[in-house]
Amino acid sequence: QVQVAESGGGLVKPGGSLRLSCTASGFTFSDYFMNWIRQAPGKGLEWVSYISGSGRTIYYADSVKGRFTISRDNANNSLYLQMKSLRDDDTAVYYCAGGDSPTPQEYWGQGVLVAVSS
Amino acid sequence: SSELTQDSAVSVALGQKVRITCQGDSLRIFFASWYQQRPGQAPVLVVYGENNRPSGIPDRFSASNSGNTASLTITGAQAEDEADYYCNSRDSNSNHVIFGRGTKLTVL
């Protein structure tokens, strides 16, 4: 049974930092591309970043490049998103999602809320 | 970067067929994937590739592709199909992942 669970969300002030974590089980984590995808309140899905199974291939959306860093620990089936210089428009539910290629994202977590506000 | 264009809203009568489309240049190279998102829930992959369904997805969901257009068809829509539907694919220029803005499906 596949399980994906995000953690680490919360309220942070503009300019602050936050680190999201995602743990997965039920599939061979190291074989899977893992993505962070976010959804602002009342808005659509926005891809943020993905990392290949080996960690050697990484891409970021232009909106977060230079501020966010994706990483993974295959030994612990974990994915991370380090977020710095947070802005109001980073407020969203952040989903961890994986697949055996960059798309489709086959497995999704339930999401974690990040709220950026003074 | 490339974009994927979806109609903002579509409606269908209970039990009827409905098609939701997604257009974009990247679809000439990469297949679309389709996700269903019910209110307050995480997205769920319903169809991907040429026309593949993950385990547990009803066979009333199907996909088709032609040129720069991908389509999700629901044959015999059910009340529980009322949801937002998103397409995505890879951007052929940047290797980024791109999403359409979503289509709100109402089952009448």
* A113 vs B: CB within 8 A: no
Please report, as a single letter, which amino acid is at residue B69.
T
Binding-face residues of A in 65-84 toward B, CB within 8 A: none
Interval A104-117: pLDDT, tens: 999 999 999 999 99
* End-to-end Cα separation, chain B, in angstroms: 36
How deeply is A89 buried, as exposed, middle or buried, from its count of CB atoms within 10 A (0-12, 13-18, 19+)? exposed
How deeply is A9 buried, as exposed, middle or buried, from its count of CB atoms within 10 A (0-12, 13-18, 19+)? middle
Per-residue pLDDT of chain B (108 residues; tens, 9 = 90+): 689 999 999 999 999 999 999 999 999 999 999 999 999 999 999 999 999 999 999 999 999 999 999 999 999 999 999 999 999 999 988 999 999 999 999 999
For chain B, state the CA radius of gyration.
Answer: 13
Chain B environment of A47 (Cβ under 8 Å): 88, 96-99
Q: How many beta-carbon pairs below 8 A join chains A and B?
A: 62
Place of tokens 């791109």: B98
Distance CA B41, CA B23 (A): 25
Q: What is the pLDDT of residue B1?
A: 60
CB distance B94–A61 less than 8 Å?
no
Q: What is the pLDDT of residue B105?
A: 98
CA distance B78 to chain A (A): 23
Cβ proximity of B85 and B102 under 8 Å: yes
What percent of chain A has a predicted confidence (pLDDT) above 90?
100
Mean pLDDT, residues A48-65: 97
* B58 vs A: CB within 8 A: no
Beta bridge partners of B106: B11
Distance CA B7, CA B27 (A): 16
CB distance B1–A62 less than 8 Å?
yes
Interval A57-75: pLDDT, tens: 999 999 999 999 999 999 9
Distance CA A84, CA A80 (A): 13
The mean pLDDT value of chain A amounts to 97
Q: What is the pLDDT of residue B92?
A: 86
Distance CA A20, CA A82 (A): 6
CB distance B48–A109 less than 8 Å?
no
Backbone angles phi, psi at A88, to 5 degrees: -55, -40
Interval A74-84: pLDDT, tens: 999 999 999 99
* B92 vs A: CB within 8 A: no
Distance CA A92, CA A84 (A): 15
Q: What is the pLDDT of residue A5?
A: 98
* End-to-end Cα separation, chain A, in angstroms: 40
* B44 vs A: CB within 8 A: yes
Q: Which residues of B24-34 are buried (b: 16+ CB within 10 A; e: fewer)?
A: bebbeebbbbb
